[in-house]
Amino acid sequence: MLTVADDVQGERTIRLVNDWGSADIALYGAQVHSWKNAEGAEYLFVSGRRYREAGKAVRGGIPVCWPWFGLHSADPSLGRHGFVRTLVWKPGPVCEIGDRTRIVLSCFDDDRTRVIWNFSFRLDLEITLGPSLDLVLYSTNMDSVAFELTDAFHAYFLVDSASRARISGFSGAECTDSRAGSGSAEAVWIGSGDVADLGSHVDRVYHCETASVLYGISAGGGVRLSKEGFPETVVWNPGPVLADALADLGSMEAGRMVCMEAVCGSPKTVAPGETVVQKMMLSPVF
């Protein structure tokens, strides 16, 4: 089932509902703001201090970072995480596939995007609500020349306490600590055991395509993140000091969130007419 309504901040939002739970998706950014189980318990974090501002993404949920992740490599003034988080996407029809509910949202280049990034593209995001929440991103080069992209599903999860949450699945994976100076001895190591102390400032890149599990979810148990086409997983929490410097977050809010993100951080070349397919699957763990 599908309903369409405006949320508390006036954003046009689509709600998918079935026996597995619900998912709320804003047309602004095609951003999943809520994913609840059948009992109504929430898996995703959205900041209570968020505000609506043109050109700004909502803090929380699952933002789509595209066509670059982090700062733009050639022009940092363009800001972080691309521009599709701030475009209004077009929804397609809803499909019921057995006990699952699916919708596809799309966005395209226009005069505004070509000023920032002068390529023609089509982006389709397929979202399926079932026993897992599955996101599939189709990036199509509609231009006559190749382009490069980096991207991510920047997922924010709601936890009882970030300081007590932990993540498993990174043993043996190379880890880069983005807080350490480039080339320092502390910048790169091999992961071992669970990742804990997630209430402090954490910004790590795990170079692996294996699944990871975040425990301490407020809905109970944990969430397993599986992925295809994303060679890295980023674990991030700003910690209380940095969070207090962010107008749309704050230290109290940051203590209830952990980001576990599916990331393609190395530039991928997309040929004219080519479509790159990437997937992230989120499954409850009991």
Q: List the catalytic residues.
A: 154, 261
Compute the distance between CA of residue 281 and CA of residue 223 in angstroms, rounded to an integer: 10
Length of the chain counted residue by residue: 286
Looking at the DSSP bridge assignments, the partners of residue 147 are 270
Measured from the Cβ of residue 10, the count of other Cβ atoms closer than 10 Å reads 9
**Dihedral-angle region of residue 120 (phi above 0 means left; psi in -120 to 50 means alpha; beta otherwise):** beta
Compute the distance between CA of residue 168 and CA of residue 197 in angstroms, rounded to an integer: 13
**Dihedral-angle region of residue 193 (phi above 0 means left; psi in -120 to 50 means alpha; beta otherwise):** left
Compute the distance between CA of residue 247 and CA of residue 114 in angstroms, rounded to an integer: 29
